[in-house]
Amino acid sequence: MKPFIYSANPSRVIFGSGTLKQVVSEVQRLGIKRPLVLSTPEQSRHADRVEELLKGADGIDSTGQFNNATMHTPLEVTLEAMKIIEENRIDGLIAIGGGSTIGLGKAIALRTDLPQIVLPTTYAGSEMTPIIGQRENGIKTTQISPKVLPEVVIYDVDFTMTLPPGLSATSGVNAIAHAVEALYAQNGNPVISLMAEEGIRALAKGLPVIAENPNDVEARTNALYGAWLCGSCLGHVGMSVHHKLCHVLGGTFNLPHADTHTIVLPHALAYNAPHIPEAMSRIANALGHTDAIEGLNELLTKLKVKRALKEVGMPEDGVDKAADLATKNAYWNPRALEREPLREVIRRAWAGEPAAANI
């Protein structure tokens, strides 16, 4: 076994069904008196439920909402929320939703260091990471800061029961991508590898059932459990070419985050495959298959997800631009980053062609 360093992130995790009720005690425990509830416009009904629980609770002076969280955390939306925070002397954040809302909470925390309580409604996993991505002038950049790591994450399976099967599928594959890259991360370790394999296994078990029966509580519980594990992997080790490609594609062409991860994953995995035999074996095992790429393709087929970037809004003439951006700044990857092979990866993903390990 090679030497390793493992540092646990200090988040408090509450997992179960009906755990939303614990938001009041968690707000009180953190000493928050004037919380702001964050959501997207579509999730405002959930924000209403949270605000209703908080009204009249001991120690809470007032609460409010900001319901304009937006995909890729655009700077202008963050600045709009900051005005409300300053005007109302907000001293804590409650983010309820998926990556858009969680990203907004992180962007605010980066600027204010306000404590965060997160109630995820998807399987994206960003609630478990000190990573933030922000979009400004059409470019998405990421950074790591302990200031953006939420203090409390409340997983309530009940909140995922209404997540549409299609979004459940892409959100879940997005989570799987975190674990896949964790298995070959430069700073990986045995603890994270165990979590990654178990996370892939739980999601691969739950997602196909959800696709056929969205009301299956056991499948929803397995998926949310897997998402927590996969998100924890993302929060502990570095990511590689898959995540780099997805940030470039999403930020440059404003593509839907989860769909982009879902489409790119088999192609990025194929690019690295010859250089990561142990990771490929563990991924295959978690998927219940003898081959990782074939197992992943079979899972995506069962989930009936989109398989081409052109289907989610990427123009064909963006392939070269994406290849340039993906190789612009050096970052670690188990295989050397070569523009032409990466361009072919992006082109195949754009066209929806099968992933090829011989690029």
Rounded to an integer, what distance in angstroms lies between the CA atom of residue 62 and that of residue 53? 12
Taking the chain, what is the end-to-end CA distance rounded to the nearest angstrom?
31
Domain range 12-160, CATH architecture: 3-Layer(aba) Sandwich (3.40)
Write out pLDDT tens, residues 12-45. 999 999 999 999 999 999 999 999 999 999 999 9
Residue 253's contacts (CB-CB under 8 Å, 6 or more residues apart) are 313, 314, 315, 318, 322
pTM: 0.91
Give me the residue spans of the domains in the chain. 12-160, 165-351
Query: If pLDDT is split at 50, 70 and 90, which confidence band does 138 have?
Result: confident
CA distances, 356 to each of 278, 281, 283, 359 (Å): 19, 17, 17, 6
Question: What are 55-114's pLDDT values in tens digits?
Answer: 989 999 988 999 999 988 999 999 999 999 999 999 999 999 998 999 999 999 999 999
Higher pLDDT, 323 or 63: 323
What does the pLDDT read at residue 139? 82
CA distances 1 to 4, 5, 7, 190, 358, Å, are 9, 12, 18, 9, 30
The pLDDT of residue 154: 97
Q: What CATH superfamily is the domain 165-351?
A: Dehydroquinate synthase-like - alpha domain (1.20.1090.10)
Q: Does 147 have pLDDT greater than 90?
A: yes
The DSSP secondary structure of 28-71, one letter per residue, reads HHTT-SSEEEE--GGGHHHHHHHHHHHTT-TT----EEE----T
Say how far apart CA 353 and CA 359 lie, in whole Å: 13
Report residue 90: phi and psi, to 5°. Answer: -65, 135
Please give the torsion angle defined by the CA atoms of residues 312, 317, 319 and 323, in that order, rounded to the nearest 10 degrees: -140
Which secondary-structure segment (H or E) carries 185? none
* Each residue's pLDDT tens digit, 162-180: 999 999 999 999 999 999 9
User: Using an 8 Å Cβ cutoff, are 37 and 64 in contact?
Assistant: yes
